Amino acid sequence: MDLDFSVVIEYFPRLLTGMWTTIELVILSIVLGAIVALPLALARISKNRWISSLPFAYIFFFRGTPLLVQIFLVYYGASQFEAVRESFLWPVLREPFWCAIIAFTLNTSAYTAEIFRGAIQAIPEGEVEACKVVGMTKTQMYRRVLLPRAFGIVLPAYGNEIILMLKASALASTITLLDLTGMARTIIARTYTPIEIFVAAGVIYLAISMVVIYIFRLVEKRQNRYLGSLSIKVPDKG
Amino acid sequence: MKLKKIALGSAVLLSAAVSSFSAQAADTIKIATEGAWAPFNYIDDNGKPQGFDVDIAWALCEKMDVECKVVTQDWDGLIPGLKVRKYDAIIASMSITEERLRQVDFTNKYYSGGLRFLAPKGKSFDLDNLDGKVIGAQRATLAAQYLEDNYTGNATLKFYDTQDSVYLDLLSGRLDIVLSDELPTYDWLKTSGNGGDFEFKGESFKKEDEIGIAVRKGDKLKEKFNTALEEILADGTYEKINAKYFPFSIY
C-alpha cells in the first residue's frame, strides 16, 4: 500500500480549523464542567442523605452511560419533541456546538465531581481537626485550607480527565460538527486517504495532549512546592 | 539466537495464517454493504442485511456458483475496508466516480441514480442560489460532494454519518433542505410515515450517475461479476428484483 502524505500538506489548513473547534469544545466543557462539579462534590460529601443522594444519582447516571448515547439524546432526542422545538431553548439546542457542550459538560462534571470528592476526602483528618481547634467556621475551613489543599491533590487526576475529554470530543463529529475528527473524516470522504489524514489528526491530538501535560506539570510543581519534591505523597488516612 | 528462533517461528505462523486466509477467500466471496440506505440496503428485524443491493448480491452469487457472505460496514469505511481485504466486493449503491476509480475498480452499472433536493411542502427555493440556507447530506456521498463543489458560498453545509440522521434533522427543522439520491428518498417519502410533509424540489439531476460494484484494483472478480450481471439482466432475475422495490425500471 503506497502512502501519499502530500494530501496532509494540502489539507493541513482545514485540519487546523478543525483543531480550533476541538480546543474550543474541550476548554468550554472543562470550565463549565468544573463549575458544575464543585457544588456536586461538596453536596456528595455531605452526611445528610437528602443532600448527598441527588448528586449521587447524577454521577451514577452520567458515568454509567456512554457519552455517545448522551450526545445523541441531547442532539437527536430532544429535537423530536415539538415542545422543545417551540420553547426558548431551541435557538441553543438547534446548534450542534451547544448540544455537544451540554453533553460534554454533563458528562465531565460527573467525573470531575468524583475527582474533587476524592481529593477533599484525601486530606488528613488532623488538618480538619486543626481548623476546628483554631475556631474556623465551615466556610473558612473550606476556603482557607480544604479547597487549596484539595487543589494540589487533585491536579494529576484532573489532568487525566482533561486528556480523556480531549479524546472524547471526537464524538462531536457524529452530530455534524467539524471538529478535528469531523474535519478529517470529511477530507477523507474526498481523498480516500484515511491512513495519511488520520495519522495527521492523531499527531495533532498528541500535540494538544502534550501541551496539557506540560501545563499541568508546571502548575503541579508550583502548587505543591511546599512538599519539597515533584511527587506528592498522599498521606495515609488512618 | 533465541530472537532468531522467535522470528522464524512467528514467520512460519504468519505464513500459515496467510495461506489459510487466502484458501478460505477462494471458497467464499465476502461482500460488504452499508445497511442504512433503505430500500437498497438495510438491516431487518432479525439483524440480517436486506434490500435491493443484497438481493442483487445473492442473485449474482448464484449465477457465479460461489458461496457468499454479506457483511455490513459504515459508509465512509467501505472503500478503506475493501483495500485492506476485510471483504472482496462492495455492493452498497456506490456511484462510480473518478475519485473512487483511483482507489478501486468498478463493474458495469447495476442501476442508475440521480440526485434531487428534498424539503418541506409549501416552501419554495431558488435551487441555484441557496445562500443563507442550511443544506444537509450524508458524508462521503455524491450528494455531499456536489454540495461542496457548488454550494460552498453562503449556504451552510452539514454532513451526517447516515441518511437516517439526515432525515431526522430535516424533521427537526435544523435543515432547510436536503440533497440526496432520488430513489431511496422516493422510498422514504412513500414508506416512512413522515413523507406527507415533504416533497421533492426541482427536477432530478446527475442522471448519468451509475451505480456499480466495487472490487480491489486488478481483481479478476470484476469480470466474473460483469458476466453474472449480464446473465441476470438477460434472464429476468433483475427485472423481478427491480419490481419488488420500484414500479419502474431503475437500470
The three-state secondary structure class of B107 is strand
- With respect to residue A148, please indicate whether it lies within any of the assigned structural domains: yes
Residues B96 and B216 placed together within one structural domain of the fold: yes
Best mutation target among A2, A75, A97, A176 (most B Cβ atoms within 10 Å) is A176
Cβ distance A79 to B168 less than 8 Å, yes or no, reads: yes
Tell me, yes or no, whether B251 lies in a domain. no
- Which amino acid, B155? A
Give the pTM. Answer: 0.82
Could you count the other beta carbons within 10 Å of the beta carbon of residue A178? 21
| pLDDT at res. B19 | 47
Is residue B23 domain-resident? no
Q: What residues of chain A lie within 8 A of the CB of B178, using their CB? A: none
In a domain, B216, yes or no: yes
Report the DSSP beta bridge partners of residue B105: B215
Pair (B76, B128) in one structural domain? no
Do B152 and B179 share a domain, yes or no?
Answer: yes
Whether B21 maps to a domain, the answer reads: no
CB contact under 8 A, B80 and A176: no
B140 and B171 part of one domain: yes
Q: Is B2 part of a structural domain of the chain?
A: no
In a domain, B177, yes or no: yes
Tell which residue, B161, B241, B3, has the closest CA to residue A71: B161
Q: ipTM surpassing 0.85, yes or no?
A: no
Residue at A232 is within a domain: no
CB spacing of A189 vs B158 below 8 angstroms: no
Give the C-alpha separation, A198 to A26, whole Å: 20
Does residue A234 belong to any structural domain of this protein?
no
**B104 and B127 in a common domain:** no
Whether residues B109 and B215 fall in one domain: yes
Name the residue facing B139 among A80, A96, A189 (closest C-beta): A189
Do the domain assignments include residue B54?
yes
- List B67's β-bridge partners, or say none: B28
Here the CATH number for the domain that contains residue B66 is: 3.40.190.10
pLDDT at B158 over 50: yes
> How many domains does one find in chain B?
2
Domain count, chain A: 1
User: Across the interface, do B79 and A192 touch by the CB < 8 Å criterion?
Assistant: yes
Residues B35, B71 within the same domain: yes
CA distance B243 to chain A (A): 32
Q: What is the pLDDT along chain A (238 residues), one digit of tens a residue?
A: 577 888 899 999 999 999 999 999 999 999 999 999 999 999 999 989 999 999 999 999 999 999 999 999 999 999 888 888 888 989 999 999 999 999 999 999 999 999 999 999 999 999 999 999 999 999 999 999 998 889 889 999 999 999 999 999 999 999 999 999 999 999 998 888 889 999 999 999 999 999 999 999 999 888 878 776 555 566 666 5
Contact A76 B174 (CB under 8 A): no
Pull the grid cell for residue A110.
460527573
CA distance B98 to chain A (A): 11
Q: Which domain holds residue B134?
A: 115-205
Q: Do B172 and A191 count as a contact with CB atoms less than 8 A apart?
A: no
pLDDT of residue B24: 46
First to last CA, chain B: 64
Residue A66, in any domain of the structure: yes
A194 touching B (Cβ < 8 Å):
yes
Does the beta-carbon distance from B139 to A1 stay under 8 Å? Answer: no
Rounded to the nearest angstrom, the gap between the alpha carbon of residue A174 and the centroid of all alpha carbons in its chain is 19
In a domain, B80, yes or no: yes
Cα→Cα distances B235→B52, B63, B111, B203, Å:
17, 11, 16, 33
- Identify the CA nearest to B139 among candidates A169, A185, A231: A185
Put the strands of the sheet holding B198-205 in their side by side order.
Answer: B156-160, B134-138, B177-181, B115-120, B198-205
Write out the residues of chain B at the interface with chain A, using a CB-CB cutoff of 8 A: 76-77, 79-80, 83-84, 99-100, 102-103, 136, 139-140, 144-145, 148, 158-161, 165, 168-169, 171-174
Sign of the Cα torsion A19, A22, A26, A28 reads positive
For residues B218 and B95, state if they share a domain: yes
- Cell matching residue B184: 431511496
Write out the three cell numbers for A189: 470522504
Identify the CATH number of the domain in which residue A173 sits.
1.10.3720.10
